[in-house]
Structure 1
Amino acid sequence: MSLFRRQRSALPGLNLTLGFTVFYLGLIVLLPLSAAFIRTFGMTWEEFVAAVSSPRVFASYRITFFASFAAALVNMVFGLVVAWVLTRYSFPGKRLVDALVDLPFALPTAVAGIALTSIYAKNGWVGTWFDPDGRMFQKLFAHEGLLGRLTGLDLSGAKLAYSEIGVFIALTFIGLPFVVRTVQPILEELEPELEEASATLGASRWKTVTRVVLPEVYPALITGFALAFARALGEYGSVVFISGNMPMRTEITPFLIITKLGEYDYRGATAIAVVMLLASFVLLLLINLLQKWSRRHQAV
């Protein structure tokens, strides 16, 4: 009889809370996503392939995934540096810097896009330095300019806004807080005495970072990368202003979906949305498996 006896949980209400959780997630998450799949099922396989594999759609995949991946990689590196500075050092204005990290969270994406465009456009504070027709560019970045002579590079076609670089800048801006806020609590729990002990035993600073610090923050760092990457894949508001939305060049996939909806091509829009959904799910699954492997490797 003891084999069939249910073991009571120390916390009551498991069935009620579990049922509410499943119902809430189904209502908020699964129901809207299933609507996209249901509409896509009304298409034939040939129509679906044609909708998701046209040259314009493939170009939007390329800029969206590559720019999102590059921005997440950059945020993973510099987000770790920012989190390290905020947890290990005391300096004037630290609370202000800590609050500024959350600014992309609170700032409406359209406002962020307008602000980035005004800064990085050719008449903006930063963009004016990269305007190929401007004096500043000729003095610094052109082939006969100062940096051109030092590096041998000709950046005459380079510009920030309304280019792939603009998309990368916007995605980097909105993804930084995800890495910082994921890594920061782990660094706060990591005792500085461990680093001091490593230095006392003769380890160099680089070895202390690679052998003591990084193994502890690696799972959180991968989580922050995954969150930043997933956020960048679906970003729309901050990118459409600075990218220029040029088909085959700077048009991101979310903007293409909106364009098809404006053309009343609902099936084409949902087909592309399903591809993005499946790709995001597969990538997040792979990253979660990598996290699990890193934890197991760390435990061993």
Structure 2
Amino acid sequence: MPGFRPAIGLTLVYLALVVLIPLSALLLKSMQLSLDEYWAILSNHRVQASFRVSFGSALIAAAVAALFGFIIAWSLVRYTFPGKRLLDALIDLPFALPTAVAGIVLATIYEANGWVGKLVMDNFGIQIAYKPLGIVVALIFIGLPFVVRTIEPVLQELDTAMEEAAASLGATRLQAFIKVILPNILPAAITGFALAFARGVGEYGSVIFIAGNMPYISEIVPLLIITKLEQYEYAGATAIGMTMLILSFVLLLLINGLQWWVRRRSGQL
């Protein structure tokens, strides 16, 4: 095709400058550590606790965002109601809102004396802000638009005639959803889940204000890396960052493999 060489050249230059060179620098820096030093950093209980908090919260938040993101996308595509355009615009608010502002707003609302936080505390005895639950709430807020904007175009392109054909053959609404709709939107839902998870693992600004940042309880990996850099522990920050990169890559690879398998099973490949 015309223009292939300049297009692929610009692509490779972009990948080299933005992705490969920074990652190579991180890899070379981490290779300066011996295996014993590397393991000593990672085996620290505080480091392991921060990894559990970050990855566990990101997985839970991405799963919740995938569920509610599908419901929101379905409502926006299939129904007409007052305020639909406003709701559609508000979905993109986390994209434009600075993460620090989002964190402050969420912490104010969900703290024990906040509007939502007080209501939940008084009725259910559950504290949201300054706990791991607060991290999940912040990550749902950040990740929800990824799921909605990934599923919404697929639902718009889905031909309703297939559902009508299923109904004419005697399928119930539930059977039509499972057999017709779900196979078509599942790859997009997995993609949205992956995007929400990837964003949640590395999220910093919107989390630190609502997390409480208590070691072993609500301290996330990005905050621990910043802390070590401020203490001039560059080796520790490099080891943690490299491990976080490897774990994120493996999990995203597994998610992409699952997406490919779903597409193949549904006949989209």
TM interval, short-chain normalised:
over 0.9
Which deviates more, 162-171 or 14-23? 14-23
1:236 aligns with 2:213: no
1:56-95 aligned at under 5 Å gives the runs 56-95=46-85
1:186 aligns with 2:145: no
Output the aligned Cα RMSD. Answer: 1.1
In 2, Cα distance between the equivalents of 1:53 and 1:23?
A: 37
Q: Which amino acid aligns with 2:41?
A: A
| 4+ runs deviating over 6 angstroms | none
For 1:209, the equivalent position in structure 2 comes to 177
Q: CA deviation at 1:160?
A: 0.6
Aligned with 2:115: secondary structure?
coil
Q: CA deviation at 1:230?
A: 0.6
Q: Which amino acid aligns with 2:262?
A: S
Q: Which amino acid aligns with 2:246?
A: L
Q: CA deviation at 1:196?
A: 2.2
Structure-1-length-normalised TM-score: 0.87
In 1, Cα distance between the equivalents of 2:180 and 2:7?
A: 40
In 2, Cα distance between the equivalents of 1:39 and 1:285?
A: 24
For 1:162, the equivalent position in structure 2 comes to 130
For 1:250, the equivalent position in structure 2 comes to 218
In 2, Cα distance between the equivalents of 1:83 and 1:293?
A: 24
Structure-2-length-normalised TM-score: 0.97
For 1:47, the equivalent position in structure 2 comes to 37
Q: CA deviation at 1:130?
A: 3.5
Q: CA deviation at 1:52?
A: 1.7
In 1, Cα distance between the equivalents of 2:166 and 2:7?
A: 46
1:29-44 aligned at under 5 Å gives the runs 29-44=19-34
In 2, Cα distance between the equivalents of 1:122 and 1:289?
A: 42
In 2, Cα distance between the equivalents of 1:36 and 1:27?
A: 14
In 2, Cα distance between the equivalents of 1:130 and 1:218?
A: 33
Q: CA deviation at 1:292?
A: 1.1
In 2, Cα distance between the equivalents of 1:71 and 1:247?
A: 21
Structure whose residues are more often helix by fraction? 2
Q: CA deviation at 1:199?
A: 2.0
Structure 1, gaps ≥5 residues long: 1-10, 132-136, 142-154
Q: Deviations over 1:52-78 (max 9, x none)?
A: 220000000111111100011111111
For 1:176, the equivalent position in structure 2 comes to 144
Count of matched residue pairs? 268
Structure 2, gaps ≥5 residues long: none
In 2, Cα distance between the equivalents of 1:169 and 1:14?
A: 44
1:18 aligns with 2:24: no
For 1:148, the equivalent position in structure 2 comes to none
Q: Which amino acid aligns with 1:184?
A: E
In 2, Cα distance between the equivalents of 1:234 and 1:101?
A: 21
Q: CA deviation at 1:270?
A: 1.0
In 1, Cα distance between the equivalents of 2:8 and 2:250?
A: 26
Larger Rg, first or second structure (1 or 2): 1
In 2, Cα distance between the equivalents of 1:299 and 1:248?
A: 46
For 2:189, the equivalent position in structure 1 comes to 221
What is the percentage of aligned positions where both structures have the same residue?
56
For 2:252, the equivalent position in structure 1 comes to 284
Aligned with 1:299: secondary structure?
coil
Q: Deviations over 1:146-191 (max 9, x none)?
A: xxxxxxxxx4xx3110001101100111000111000100000001
